[in-house]
């Protein structure tokens, strides 16, 4: 039996601002803008306005169970991936781009008969569903470049096989070096 599943979201993006109404600008400390210490789950969007080409914009959409921690990692990276984003953002700023931050204001989401609101963003499945749906719609919209990257399973398998082949070839060379016959 074929089923029909309807998914809808009613939302808007809200620019992150200080208590004085100043919009967040990368690489400022995010803590001054979120004004919270306890974990706040949610979905965020970095917007890069390329000032050299006013009609050109890039976005990066993400989700986290703790926005303060996650967004802070773009400024003070703890992994290679975060360091790569910091380098990208720094390069964008050097070329004259402006980087701002927005948070998703979820008014209502429905998946089939289940209804959710922003109070339900603590659920990682809901956050990931919304994040992925927003990435897909932004990509299809075509008015901006989506920076989110995902690799197809076959590409991951291929990369893993290439690494394993290189490891085995290095091991074989090492063994041959010890036994020249």
Task: Please give the share of the chain, as a percent, with pLDDT higher than 70.
Answer: 92
Mean pLDDT, the chain, integer: 88
pTM score, whole prediction: 0.80
Helices 80-94/67-75 angle, 10° precision: 60
Across 82-97, b (16+ Cβ under 10 Å) vs e yields beebbebbeebeeeeb
pLDDT at 54: 65
Distances (CA, A) of 100 to 21, 28, 51, 109: 14, 10, 13, 25
Query: What's the helix, strand, coil split of the chain in %, to 5?
Result: 40, 25, 35
Q: What is the pLDDT of residues 89-115, one digit of tens each?
A: 999 999 999 999 999 999 999 999 999
Count of CB atoms within 10 A of residue 33's CB?
21
Count of CB atoms within 10 A of residue 139's CB?
13
| Residue ranges in the chain whose pLDDT is less than 50 | none
Three-state SS letters, 131-146: HHHHHHHHHHHCCCEE
pLDDT at 121: 96
DSSP 3-state of 42: strand
Q: What is the pLDDT of residues 14-40, one digit of tens each?
A: 999 988 888 998 999 888 888 766 788
Nearest-angstrom CA–CA distance, 78 and 64: 15
């Amino acid at each position: 039996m074929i089923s029909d599943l309807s998914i809808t979201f009613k939302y808007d993006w809200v620019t992150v601002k200080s208590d004085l109404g100043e919009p967040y600008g990368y690489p400022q400390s995010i803590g001054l803008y979120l004004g919270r210490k306890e974990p706040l789950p949610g979905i965020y969007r970095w917007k890069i306005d390329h000032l050299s080409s006013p009609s050109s914009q890039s976005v990066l959409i993400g989700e986290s169970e703790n926005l303060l921690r996650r967004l802070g990692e773009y400024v003070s990276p703890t992994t290679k991936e975060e360091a790569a984003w910091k380098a990208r953002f720094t390069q964008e700023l050097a070329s004259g781009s402006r980087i701002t931050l927005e948070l998703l204001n979820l008014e209502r989401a429905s998946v089939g008969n289940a209804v959710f609101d922003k109070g339900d963003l603590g659920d990682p499945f809901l956050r990931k569903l919304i994040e992925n749906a927003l990435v897909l719609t932004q990509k299809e919209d075509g008015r901006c470049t989506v920076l989110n990257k995902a690799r197809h399973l076959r590409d991951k398998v291929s990369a893993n096989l290439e690494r394993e082949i290189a490891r085995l070839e290095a091991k074989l060379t090492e063994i041959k070096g010890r036994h020249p016959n």
